[in-house]
Structure 1
Amino acid sequence: MRLAFLMEFLFSMALLLCLMACQAEMKDSSTSMPLALSYWNHKLPTTPIPTLLLARLSSLQPNTSSYPNQVRIVLAKLIVYSYTASENMGNHSTTSVSSGTIFFLQKNIGIGSNFSVDMVDWKNTETLNFIPAVLANEIPFSTKNLSVSLNKLHISPDSGMALTMKQTLEICEKSTMIGESKKCVTSLESMIDYSTSQIGTNDVNVFVVNVSMVTKSGLQQYSLASIPFESKPTSRVVACHTIRYAYLVYLCHQIKDTRIYKLSLKTDEGNVAEMLSLCHEDTSQWSPEHVSFKMLHVKPGGEAICHFMPDDSIVWVAAN
């Protein structure tokens, strides 16, 4: 009862603040495009922003009269999300071996190759937006300062969300493998800076996985119809995956000897799906117990292993 009352109160406050912010925006002619979009256009002038990323941008505009109210709305939404996510913690599904062909050998990428995939099971059911860098930078992102973050977001230290945040921070702070660089980014601006620094150029291709249009559940049989994009063997690739937190956070990493393939798959009924696959050509640093070795009957340091990218993943690579 207390949780239901709290959520109702927070939603009511968010609605009231939204109306106040909208009125302020009508009087504030300086409100323009989101800051993250301006940053994207400045840093990546030759790279169009993917539609899915554009939809995830916050409209917060610092240095405008409506900014304080907009910040309150964002924080209110995060509080509501943290409580609902804590309640549904046990219902969250993750990609598993049962989802079909997750791992496969690079040598099997060829026109006509067959894959068995349940794309519906790969859908990201939690839709969050980026928060602007100016706000993200005010919230500590470390296990050492977790209590400060929880206090700023009004999240109970005993909640399921607090535990999830702690686990995510521990993953982000975990040591990397040899030949790997990684960073958990809390804003689109941070993702842009990290990815371009790792790739070594601002002339990049950015691919976003989006399986939201796939509605048929269960394993579906697909054949490879075409390969619209294939990165060069020497290109650096940065892969970013969503990771659970109170707001949108991506874990980005750059691993040596990795290639990206954009694959156009089709079913016998003619349905077409565009998928991204990462292929790791050096697996010598992987644990011998990695599930891919058992599935494919290969050993660390042997044949190149590939896997499909789950929904909402973002891949950065130098433009060919």
Structure 2
Amino acid sequence: MSNPTSKAYAWYYHVLDWLLRALARLPLRALYVLADFLYVVLAYVVRYRKQVVLTNLRNSFPEKPEGEIQRIQRLFYRNFAQVLVETLKLADMPDAELKQRVHFGNPEVLENHFARGRTVLGLSSHAGNWEWVLTSGALWLSAHADGVYKPLMNPFFEKFMRQLRTRTGAGLIPMRDTLRDLVQRKGEVRVVSMLSDQAAGPEDRPYWTTFMNQEAGFYTSADRLASRFHCPVVYVSIRRLRRGYYEIVLTDLYDGDAPLPTDSFPITEAFVRQLETDIRLFPADYLWTHRRWKHKREVKN
């Protein structure tokens, strides 16, 4: 991996780069000690987006007593701290160890589509360790794995994270270039992974549906791209088995052949229902600091 620092960065980024790479060389068991410290800092010292987390949990689980909401919140911060150090460990983790820690329970779901010469859209979310999905997929699957992502504003962190995410051979596609990429690489056998639980604003012409007891707008790109390029669509669920170990379970949402309606978004709706099921099963594994429900549907007079 090349060094991400350059003369364009301020001097302290050189120090930060050295520190991050030094930490990444520690074994995960040592990094989990750091994660326990980060948990305390995030949850009790800086109280990182604590009100956002509590509001999201209370609105999503109105049937749960406050004591259970508080318990899920604590577990979320602990899991979130572990995801942070696990993501950093990508800078130094051997491919064999990553493949051992992330198990694909049914890779044949994707492999069957690859055998038909298809580009597959993989819809995942900010659950479990979302940063290990693409990187492990590049090791498990016979075809190439690309991920659609939103570039970071800070050039140092953009380059640093890009290197972590591509170090196992995966590719990255800036969100704004998704359509162009699919046009230029039409017919290529691969999976294109999309984190499809991002909050879509009114300007994005979202699909509005009820998600975790709240109205939420979702991007409709999965339906539109699948229809235009005849891409099968697969839901990607990443489930925490225990600390540092995950299982990925794949579910077909669309075969790429059947006609899709132009006035509704069945793929997006199916994704939302699958994600909702996962969140209810593993509530502490979802990214509750995300302002998922910040947009409201515009009321037309």
- Normalized per residue, the structure richer in helix is 2
Asked whether the two chains share a fold, i.e. TM above 0.5, the reply is no
TM-score of the superposed pair, with normalisation by structure 1: 0.32
